[in-house]
Amino acid sequence: MEQLRLNNGQMIPQLGLGVFKVQDADDLKRSVADALKSGYRHFDTATIYHNEAWLGEALAESDVKREDLFITSKVWNSNTTYDETIAAFHESLKKLQTDYLDLYLIHWPSEGYNEKWRAMETLYNDGLIKSIGVSNFEQPHLEKLMTTAKIKPAVDQLETHPYFQQKELHAYLKSMDIAHEAWGPLGQGKSNVLEDPTLAKIAEAHNKSVAQVILRWHLQRDIIVIPKSVHAERIAQNIDVFDFTLTDEEMKLIAAIDKNQRGSGDPNDEE
Ligand code: NAD
């Protein structure tokens, strides 16, 4: 598994399993077990997914050592103050059956995010979180955060896929040495990106699926990906993307299919 070095020196596996909308304990536990078998070590959840406890159980039942796992969770919008953020974090730790998180994110740039960040900095300085970051923050949100932040976010997790490539924000994050992580990397199964003819042609040339080509494209942009699936064969397929490389020409062809088409919530509606 390829790893990226974050701006604080911590390493992150560049591909992980997302568990958004997995609302059944058995499905979650089975998919985490399948993912671990396929080589996944990085798992992305959030308080609002209401499945941290199942993920915690699934990981506790595995024989993979804690230090070989990378666990991300996120503080939800309803926690708006310093104290609430600290309390929410400890609740997540308990559910995840661990004594530290690898990455903790502010889920959306909603009310009070500068204060929430101050709490995350305390948790980071206390050694309870290895890296802290944000999600759904655009440049103005990051600039506002930075007016009071003492620690720069290590990661910004954003909706990103071939029909919503986030080119400008990607360049800004690169210039700031903040890692870009893609949520909805496959278009969340609701965008028709998986049927795109350009991607289909490239997939055929490499004898890979369109999903694999999309994930490979993200990786070659230095983006961290956390595709979600509860199906064993897709879970295995989604991590089988380290044995081929897209050419510069193919990267350019994919750059050209951007529609700037957001699939879900707009961060600018949050404030
Ligand atoms: P995704 O782009 O990963 O799409 C998942 C869907 O794609 C699946 O439900 C399935 O329908 C399809 N799929 C998966 N693998 C496939 C394959 N190999 N072939 C064909 N179809 C396949 O969407 P997502 O789950 O929304 O995003 C991934 C993760 O990102 C989430 O699980 C969650 O952890 C995170 N996320 C974060 C935010 C945020 O606000 N920070 C928002 C949404 C999701």
> Domains of the chain (ranges plus CATH)?
11-259 (3.20.20.100)
Considering the entire predicted model, what is its pTM? 0.98
- What spacing in Å lies between the alpha carbon of 256 and ligand 1's midpoint? 22
- 0.90 surpassed by complex ipTM: yes
Over its C-alpha atoms, the chain yields an Rg (Å, rounded) of 18
Find where tokens 């990051």 sit. Answer: 142
Cβ of 267 below 6 Å from ligand 1? no
Alpha carbons within 13 A on the beta-carbon side of 65: 2
| Alpha carbon separation from 222 to 18, 180, 259 (Å, rounded) | 18, 8, 21
Cβ of 51 below 6 Å from ligand 1? no
H-type alpha helices, 8-51: 25-38
Residue nearest to atom 18 of ligand 1 (CA): 234
Catalytic: 172? Answer: no
Cβ of 140 below 6 Å from ligand 1? no
Q: Would you write out the chain's pLDDT as a tens digit for each of its 271 residues?
A: 899 999 999 999 999 999 999 889 999 999 999 999 999 999 999 999 999 999 999 999 999 999 999 999 999 999 999 999 999 999 999 999 999 999 999 999 999 999 999 999 999 999 999 999 999 999 999 999 999 999 999 999 999 999 999 999 999 999 999 999 999 999 998 879 999 999 999 999 999 999 999 999 999 999 999 999 999 999 999 999 999 999 999 999 999 999 999 988 889 886 5
Neighbours of 38 (CB within 10 A): 16
Give the C-alpha separation, 25 to 153, whole Å. 32
Q: Which of 49, 104, 113, 124 is catalytic?
A: 49
